[in-house]
Chains A and B, each alone.
Chain A
Amino acid sequence: MYIIVAGGGKVGSNSTRSLLQMGHEVTLIEQRPDRFARLEEEFGPVVMRGDATEISVLERAGIARPPELLLAVTGDDEDNLVISQIAKEGYGVDKAIARVNDPRNQPHFDLLGVRQTVCATTSILGLVEHEVPEHGLVRLLQLQEEGLEVVEVQIESNSPVAGSRVGGLKLPEGSRLISVFRHGRTELVEPSTVMRPGDQVLAVVQNDAALDLRKALLGAPK
């Protein structure tokens, strides 16, 4: 497929290399002259020099074809937002993935309809939380368009559900338990599965049911 990558920093250049190796057609846009020169040595005519927030530059990169995918991965959040908006709203690009550099800007991306975002800080914090489940609930994956969230809950010895069969539990609306990880093995949850302290329960929840699910499985937070 045809892919435009806006921003030739570490994220953009490594993505370009991988996408080319996968056999995709890529145009990489980079503004800074010194960075552009280095990228051109490696990628040749795949790299284009210019400001990807300028409509004429995007047009030269073939935004009107349109590409099947656009990656807005510059180091500037406003630039990534504007590139994504021009691509989606102006040229009907179906998929635009934007990099969020400062997680405090995430609400702005959500508000302006740029739904597919990647934020390194948030991902790393998610992994940290996964290792240190402080509040008993870890948000593993958010599927914004679908309004779904995949979460993990660790059952404690004082959890109200410890020792109960899943089939007999009253779980909040919009939540499903998927699997239980115990003793190094994962089992899919059946109505007959019994919750044990130490179990790591994987669940899918709709919209904002995550906290209700935590309450149902772990009781009210202390």
Chain B
Amino acid sequence: MKAVVIGCGRVGSAVAKGLLADGWDVTAVDETEDALMRLGPTWPGGFVIGHGLDTSVLEQAGIEDTDAAVVATDGDNTNVVLGQVLQKRYGTRTVVVRVLDPARAKFYADRGLNTVCPTQTAISTLLETVQKSAPERAEAS
């Protein structure tokens, strides 16, 4: 199974390494060569330098016959645009897109994009943790 990971920061590089450990054939894409360092000194997967919206970069990364794509650059708008391009232009079967802004994540999720919003996860977890830790106070008030 082939996966392309676009945006190779803290999140992207960890996802790329995780997929590789699971036996996936992984190609990472990032704008800078520095990102390769995050993948470790002996990264055996593919690596392409360039912007994700540059179709020649995508094609060089093998987007046309990939089974899954993870989009996690540092720009929400780049990610949602790129996710839609992968779905509509290349028909990529599984596309997951990181979106930090909860409102935009919901907007595009409602339109069929598989978005993951770490901010929303943090909000929910923080709320839940606090609410669980103080049941008496919540009941008292």
Contact = CB atoms under 8 A, between A and B. Distances in A.
Interface of A: 53-56, 76-79, 81-82, 86, 89-90, 104-105, 107-108, 111-112
Interface in B54-112: 54-55, 75-78, 80-81, 84-85, 88-89, 101, 103-104, 107, 111
Contacts of B78: 78
B104 A78 contact: no
B77 A76 contact: yes
B12 to A, nearest CB: 17
Given A55-B104, A108-B85, A78 B54 contact: no
Contacts of A105: 53
Contacts of A82: 77, 80-81, 104
Contacts, number: 44
A90 B107 contact: yes
Nearest to B56: A104
A78 B107 contact: no
Nearest to A58: B103
B97 to A, nearest CB: 12
B107 A111 contact: no
A55 B80 contact: no
Contacts of B88: 111-112
A195 B34 CA distance: 62
B37 to A, nearest CB: 26
Given A55-B107, A78-B53, 8 more contacts: A54-B103, A55-B104, A78-B78, A79-B77, A81-B81, A89-B111, A112-B81, A112-B88
26 contacts: A53-B76, A53-B77, A54-B103, A55-B103, A55-B104, A55-B107, A56-B103, A77-B53, A78-B53, A78-B75, A78-B77, A78-B78, A78-B81, A81-B81, A82-B80, A86-B107, A89-B111, A105-B53, A107-B89, A108-B53, A108-B81, A108-B85, A111-B84, A111-B85, A111-B89, A112-B81
Contact of A104 (B54, B81, B103, B111): B54
Given A108-B53, A112-B84, A112-B88, A81 B77 contact: yes
Nearest to B84: A112
Contacts of A108: 53, 81, 85
Nearest to B111: A89
Contacts of A112: 81, 84-85, 88
Nearest to A76: B77
